[in-house]
Amino acid sequence: MTVMDPNAVMKELKDGNTRFANGETIHSAESSLAKLKDFSKTGQFPKAIVLCCSDSRAPVELIFDQDIGDLFVIRVAGNIVAPSLVGSVEYATSMFGTSLVLVMGHTQCGAIRATLSSIEKAETFSENINDIVKRIRPHIFTIAKNKNTLDADKMAQAIEANVRASVGQLETSSQLIEELVRKGKMHIQGAVLNLDTGFVEFLEM
């Protein structure tokens, strides 16, 4: 099992995102299909794990100009951390040695908007949507209650705060992950996709 340097993988993702935003993808349907056939025989060895939002406007492989087999993607509304999602991260790193975990939020996130609304307007949702809101709520409550902040700024601050919270939760979510982070064998990085530009901002952690 070959473990890629997380810094090298991060550079690949940044370079791929630049290609995507500039319309310079290096992949084709033919090459992707060929890789799929190969991976069906040899198995997968993804270079990064990406925990991101389910939003249809944030297709991770396209945004980072990556191909089939490159990324182990875990998608959930609001890029929240829950036990089954932690298990998915544990599975990928245990099976494939993947050392970079990217938690990516995005602008205009509906889960963040719903959570802000639940705090500011006491809006209620279905039981299952509320489970997502409850996981986000503690991390953005102070931001939502700040009456001196414009709505657009609240949204931006809340999106970033939620990403940082998910990174922090993952770092301490299990003995396996905590040990890998402590030994420097796993790096967990936060990022935010700008839907207006297609560029991803990698957060200072």
What average pLDDT does the structure give for the chain? 93
Helix residue ranges, H only, the chain:
6-21, 29-42, 60-63, 83-96, 110-120, 127-145, 151-171, 175-182
Determine the pLDDT at residue 3: 66
Q: Confidence band (pLDDT; 50, 70, 90) for 2?
A: low
Continuous segment of H or E residues that includes residue 58: none
Find the mean pLDDT for residues 42-57.
93
pTM of the model: 0.93
**Among 3.40.50.720, 3.40.1050.10, 3.40.640.10, 3.30.465.10, what is the CATH number of 6-202?**
3.40.1050.10
Position 205 pLDDT exceeds 60: yes
- In this prediction, residue 154 carries a pLDDT of 96
Residue 52 pLDDT more than 80? Answer: yes
CA distance 43 to 28: 21
Q: Which residues, at least 6 apart from 48, have a Cβ–Cβ distance to it below 8 Å?
A: 9, 13, 70, 71, 72, 98, 100, 101, 102
Reading the block at residue 10, the tokens are 């991060």
How does pLDDT run across 133-150, given as a tens digit for each residue?
Answer: 999 999 999 999 999 999
- Residue 37 predicted with pLDDT over 90: no
**Amino acid, single-letter form, for residue 102:** L
